[in-house]
Structure 1
């Protein structure tokens, strides 16, 4: 009942509202500062960041950034549970920071306006759940030295691989596959967040949730998310080591077949070859993918990020 009243009694002032971004982090030292600085420059008022036992200096970077930005830092040492923690962070944003809109973010995602307004200006209205498109950025030859922000190409039209057998997974470049959208939510009336923030259940969209009519939810085109899934071999290897630990800690853990394959390649000493052959792209390959409309070049993405 309280949640019901929160939504319908929530007063939204388009000239005076609070936009909060929540972020889950674990060993994101190479990207977290750029993430905070970029979104603060684009109108985010405050951040709620949950650190899941980072050991690479991520938490120390966040503590330093607290001197410049309003960052509520939460430590969580439990086993990674994205959907549960994202919902928890959204409610903390509402209760502690009086958020009117919440962007549930990951450290490797950058939410950029598709127009001349900033994020906050684009969100100056009351709503419930906004679904925004997300695109993978790719690593080209200019990025092989670790400067992944040098990338200027993203996957606008993903490759729809129809078979997921082990044989076909070995031929797939995961960076070219379709990825789910993300949501921006009004925490007043929020019931739940599904998976990696790809869908949200809100009092105002209960019908779509119950009848699974997410394809009928109109996309909010004023904002796009640009995703850096692969940033360097070191970051990729670190990710796969974490996946390996998860697989070894539980017998029935849910994990995609591509991650299981990458763990197997890591154990066989073949992970670096996989990274350079399937997850990085030569300039000649990029030109072919651009020719057929799979990749699009956009220099404004790189310029918008505060490196």
Structure 2
């Protein structure tokens, strides 16, 4: 079985090498990546993996967040040109994890042929306030509820059988395709989500994401509402205060652990450290683990 991952990325140099190395180690055979105008070193990291023969790099400079169009193109390439049997459409801050601890390939290969999609729930990893250093050392607490700002559960992602005519909907949460078949009723894969790795990274994401959403007239105001709300806070100078209220304190961490909403989870930290010397590109992974990959455009 051949598993191909698609990746749409912009200015994610602090995480993208770790994400790539994890998925290669977890059974992904090849990656189709689209860079959306990165200026922080992300392109150079992706080009390094392309030179290693495990990634095809596409460039999409338009700043209008046409995610559905770009991810659909990659998913179709995965099927038509890269021989995929299964496809995962991922973001740079997602670490897809087989629940049985073996490999993503094993989790998908056992499914009967009539099942063409597999839901993958996301759970946020959040920072332990007692820890410092690069994000893999700090994001070691898993939020079992993982609620968005309006109080609902953050959406699942979905893996699917390869289809040259697939259509991936905006957000990578839904698909359309004549060959998809039934949805597997179990959830053999979870997604460990690390969207909030530092205030600087978060504020930059909100800045570029808010601008891109506003530049796409085809997206309604309800799409990306959380980005839009935080972009308004960025513009009026209240974003950092809002961000800090969302971070764990020593007291809220203890309360969450006692109530069972939070659990310690060092899987990503351990996995990346295990890969430090055996990674395809050890120097790229080391830069993430040591925090030296973080840089911004002038």
Q: Please, what TM-score do these two structures have when normalized by structure 1?
A: 0.78
Find the partner of 1:147 among 123, 135, 155: 135
In structure 1, stretches of 5+ residues that fail to align are 1-16, 160-172, 209-216
Indicate conservation of the 8 Å contact 1:44/1:119, yes or no: yes
- Partner SS state of residue 153, structure 1: strand
1:41-60 alignment runs, 5 A limit: 41-60=25-44
5 Å-filtered alignment, 1:256-275, equals 256-275=224-243
Alignment of 1:1-307 (within 5 A): 17-78=1-62, 79-125=64-110, 126=113, 127-142=115-130, 145-159=133-147, 174=149, 177-188=152-163, 191-205=166-180, 217-246=183-212, 249=215, 254=221, 255-278=223-246, 280-305=247-272, 306=275, 307=289
Deviation at residue 114 of structure 1 after TM alignment: 1.2
Matches of 1:101 and 1:23, distance apart in 2: 14
Taking a change above 3 Å as real, the CA distance of residues 103 and 248 of structure 1, as seen in their structure-2 partners, is: closer
Normalised by the length of structure 2, the TM-score is: 0.80
User: Secondary structure at 2:166's aligned position in 1?
Assistant: strand
Shift in CA distance, 261/143, structure 1 to aligned 2, threshold 3 Å? farther
Number of corresponding residues: 268
Partner of 1:169: none
Structure 1 CA distance for aligned equivalents of residues 185 and 19 of structure 2? 23
CA distance in 2, matches of 1:175, 1:60: 37
Shift of 1:142: 4.2
Once the two structures are superposed, residues 245-286 of structure 1 have per-residue CA deviations (whole angstroms, 9 ceiling, x without a partner) of: 2366467753444333322222222222221222x1112201
CA contact (8 A) 1:138 1:175 kept: no
User: How far 1:148 sits from its partner (Å)?
Assistant: 4.5
> Cα RMSD over matched residues?
2.5
Q: What CA distance in whole angstroms lies between the structure 2 residues aligned with 1:229 and 1:56?
A: 17
What secondary structure does 2:109 align onto?
coil
The answer to whether the 8 Å contact 1:189/1:204 transfers is no
